[in-house]
Copies of this chain bind each other. A is one copy, B any other.
C-alpha cells in the first residue's frame, strides 16, 4: 500500500502535524523527542528504523536528520549510526530548538536563564539604539510604546505591544547580532506573561517603558541602558522571589 502525503496531514490522533510537508513534520517530531530526552535512555534509531517507524521514505528521514544535524542536535557517521549531541552543542538561538525547549515543559529555571540573557542584551541594545538608531528605527520604538498605551485602554493586545517595543529596540541597535535575539526575547516575553501575571497582578508598566524610549530619543545611551536594566531587573527579581518562595 502506498501512503500519500495528503493522507498524513493528520497524525494518528487526528491532530494536525506541524510543518508543511513530511520532512518538516518529521523534523518537528524528532526535535521534540530529542529535547524531551527520549533518547537518553534508548539509542537513537538507525535511518532505516526511523523511516519504518514514521512511515516515510529514507529520503525524508535523511533530510530531517540533516536539518537536525545543522541545528547541532544530531551527528551521523557510518557504522556508528546517528547519535544525539550533548546539549552544549545545540544551537539554542535557533527558533525551532527554542520552541521545542519550551514545549516540553514550563520551567522557571529556563525562564530565569532567558531573563539573565535579556539583562545583558537589551540594556546594551538600548544604548546602541540611542547612539546609532536612525529615524525609521526610532519611529518603530515610539510606535510600540503607543501600542502599549492603547492596550491600557483595551485598544490593542498588551503582550503584542510589549513585544513590538522590545524588538524595535533590538532592531534600532543597528547591529545584526542584536536583532538575532528577537526570537529569544519574544519567547521570553510570551512565557513571562504566563508566569508573572500569575504571581502578581502586575502588568509591564508603561511609564518604565516610556523612560527607555525617552532616553533613546534624547540620544542618551547611559540613561537608556540604565532604564532598560531596571525594567528587566524587576522581572528577574520577581522570578527570584517566586523561586525562593517555592524552595
Contact residues of A with B, CB < 8 Å?
23, 59, 62-63, 66-71, 87-88, 91-94, 113-114, 116-117, 119-121, 123-125, 128, 175-180, 184
Write the nearest CB–CB distance from A184 to chain B, whole angstroms.
8
Residues of B within 8 A of A179 (CB): 88
Q: Is the CB of B63 within 8 A of A116?
A: no
User: Which of the residues B68, B70, B92, B176 comes within 8 Å of A180, measured between beta carbons?
Assistant: B92
Contact of A128 among B87, B116, B180 (CB under 8 A): B116
> How many identical chains are in the complex?
2
A-B contact pairs, 19 of them (CB 8 A): A59-B62, A66-B66, A67-B69, A67-B70, A70-B71, A91-B93, A92-B177, A92-B180, A93-B93, A93-B180, A113-B175, A113-B176, A113-B177, A116-B175, A117-B175, A120-B121, A120-B124, A121-B121, A177-B184
Q: Which residue of B lies closest to A112 (CB)?
A: B175
Partner of A62 from the list B63, B70, B87, B123 (CB cut-off 8 Å) is B63
CB within 8 Å for A177 and B117 given contacts A93-B91, A94-B91 = yes
Q: Provide the bound-state CA to CA distance between A114 and B70, in Å.
A: 23
The reply to whether A87 and B176 form a contact with Cβ atoms under 8 Å apart is yes
A59 CB to closest chain B CB, in angstroms? 7
User: Which residues on the B side are within 8 Å of A69 (C-beta)?
Assistant: 67
A81 vs B67: C-alpha distance when bound (angstroms): 19
CB contacts (< 8 Å) of A63 on chain B: these are: 62-63, 66
Bound: A70/B246 CA distance, A: 39
